[in-house]
């Protein structure tokens, strides 16, 4: 779908490389530019497959790589040559670094006015924190997401996925790049895209931020129906596993109460009173704690009331849903194959391939 787009990728670690992975999987040609003296740290993230980081095998999938020292004139000159052809640039340095190297947006635009230049940073090209270092956990902290998550008595959790890096940085960068491509088709010129992972993380709070900004309603851990302030929650089974219970609608609540023997307490789920929600949570917790996860998986498999088991990554990848939807692909690596997450975007007019289908080499 993106055949013909050519991307020069200077980014490292996770946000930029994941954005260009998505674009590569959709058909764009991606050429990674990496320092010969300071390799991407993702190459050293364990575990390894035959001495190569599995993270790098995934994030670099389908891309070509070029070692260039941008501190040397010949390295800068090579970039200036490449940008005539690779007219979409993705970089992830702190503001001002690419300019000092002589390959910032203004310099490359002079060579190719069609250049689309996407800068991904923690805090943006402007503002009081533009030069400050950060990681996903910091962006979540400053955006308000961490402060609105977890339990009131134990604080925010370390999330199992890098929300600000991926949902904030990668996805917004990919959307912005494609929007700029559409604009360029109309105007013939590119533009500089300023993607701040903290900006984007704040905007992800579609419900909580909108509620506070629109009404002044206070937000915090366990204060809303979707962040622990209602029965919408995880419940421990007798064998130490968990069930997710999300049936907020009346019909789901009623059936949930019938299955768990909590018919008397189930209507409390419709109440806005925290005390009523606490009573229902206690009743659900007591009922679910009586049986192991396998029992509840079998029981709720026959019900349609938004109750599902909390699976490990291994269990999720081996599930019938993963197989039917093609979550996993086999990717050639040298003389072997390695399994990786598949491109998740599906086309309605094309049959989904088997989950063990091939993908471009890593």
Picking from 66, 133, 69, the residue whose alpha carbon sits closest to that of residue 102 is: 69
Q: Assess whether 49 carries a catalytic annotation.
A: no
Q: Which helix (H) or strand (E) segment is 193 a member of?
A: strand 192-196
**Which of 49, 135, 192, 295 does the annotation list as catalytic?**
135
* CA trace torsion 321, 229, 220, 172 (10° rounding): 20
Please, are residues 327 and 342 in contact by the beta-carbon 8 Å criterion?
yes
Long-range contacts of 134-143 (CB under 8 A, 24+ apart): 134/197, 134/198, 136/14, 136/162, 136/163, 136/164, 136/165, 136/197, 139/164, 139/165, 139/168, 139/197, 139/198, 139/201, 140/164, 140/201, 142/198, 143/168, 143/198, 143/201, 143/202, 143/204, 143/205
Q: Assess whether 239 carries a catalytic annotation.
A: no
Q: Show the CA angle centred on residue 21, arms to residues 17 and 25, nearest 5°.
A: 175
Please, are residues 267 and 283 in contact by the beta-carbon 8 Å criterion?
no
Query: How deeply is 273 buried, as exposed, middle or buried, from its count of CB atoms within 10 A (0-12, 13-18, 19+)?
Result: exposed
Tokens for 165, please give them.
């890096």
Distance CA 359, CA 292 (A): 39
DSSP letters spanning 9-47? E---TTHHHHHHHHHHHTT-EEEEEE-SSS--GGGG-S-
Q: Tell me the CA distances in angstroms from 131 to 122, 128, 341, one per residue in order.
A: 9, 8, 34
**Which of 165, 172, 199, 233 does the annotation list as catalytic?**
165
Query: How deeply is 272 buried, as exposed, middle or buried, from its count of CB atoms within 10 A (0-12, 13-18, 19+)?
Result: exposed
Picking from 320, 314, 309, 313, the residue whose alpha carbon sits closest to that of residue 355 is: 320
- Residues with a catalytic annotation lie at 135, 165
């Amino acid at each position: 779908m993106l055949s013909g787009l050519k991307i020069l990728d200077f980014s490292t670690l996770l946000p930029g490389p994941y954005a260009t992975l998505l674009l590569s999987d959709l058909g764009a040609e991606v050429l990674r530019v990496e320092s010969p003296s300071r390799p991407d740290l993702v190459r050293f993230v364990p575990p390894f497959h035959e001495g190569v980081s599995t993270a790098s095998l995934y994030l670099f999938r389908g891309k070509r790589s070029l070692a260039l020292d941008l501190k040397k004139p010949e390295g800068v000159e090579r970039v200036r040559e490449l940008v005539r052809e690779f007219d979409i640039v993705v970089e992830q340095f702190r503001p001002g670094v690419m300019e000092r190297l002589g390959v910032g947006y203004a310099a490359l635009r002079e060579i190719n006015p069609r250049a689309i230049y996407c800068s991904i940073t923690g805090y943006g090209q402007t503002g009081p924190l533009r030069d400050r270092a950060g990681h996903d956990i910091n962006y979540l902290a400053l955006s308000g997401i961490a402060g609105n998550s977890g339990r009131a008595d134990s604080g925010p959790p370390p999330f199992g996925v890098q929300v600000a890096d991926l949902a904030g940085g990668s996805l917004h960068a990919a959307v912005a790049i494609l929007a700029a491509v559409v604009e360029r088709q109309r105007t013939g010129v590119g533009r500089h895209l300023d993607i701040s992972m903290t900006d984007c993380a704040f905007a992800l709070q579609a419900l909580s931020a909108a509620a506070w900004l629109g009404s002044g309603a206070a937000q915090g851990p366990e204060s809303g129906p979707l962040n622990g302030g209602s029965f919408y929650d995880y419940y421990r089974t007798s064998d130490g596993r968990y069930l997710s219970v999300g049936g907020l609608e009346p019909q789901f609540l009623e059936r949930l109460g019938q299955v768990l023997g909590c018919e008397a307490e189930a209507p409390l789920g419709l109440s806005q009173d925290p005390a009523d929600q606490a009573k229902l949570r206690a009743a659900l917790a007591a009922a679910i704690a009586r049986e192991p996860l396998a029992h509840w998986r079998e029981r709720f498999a026959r019900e349609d009331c938004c109750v599902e088991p909390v699976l490990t990554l291994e269990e999720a990848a081996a599930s019938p849903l993963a197989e039917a939807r093609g979550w996993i692909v086999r990717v050639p690596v040298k003389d072997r194959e390695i399994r990786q997450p598949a491109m998740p975007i599906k086309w309605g007019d094309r049959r989904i391939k088997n989950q063990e289908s091939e993908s471009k080499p890593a």
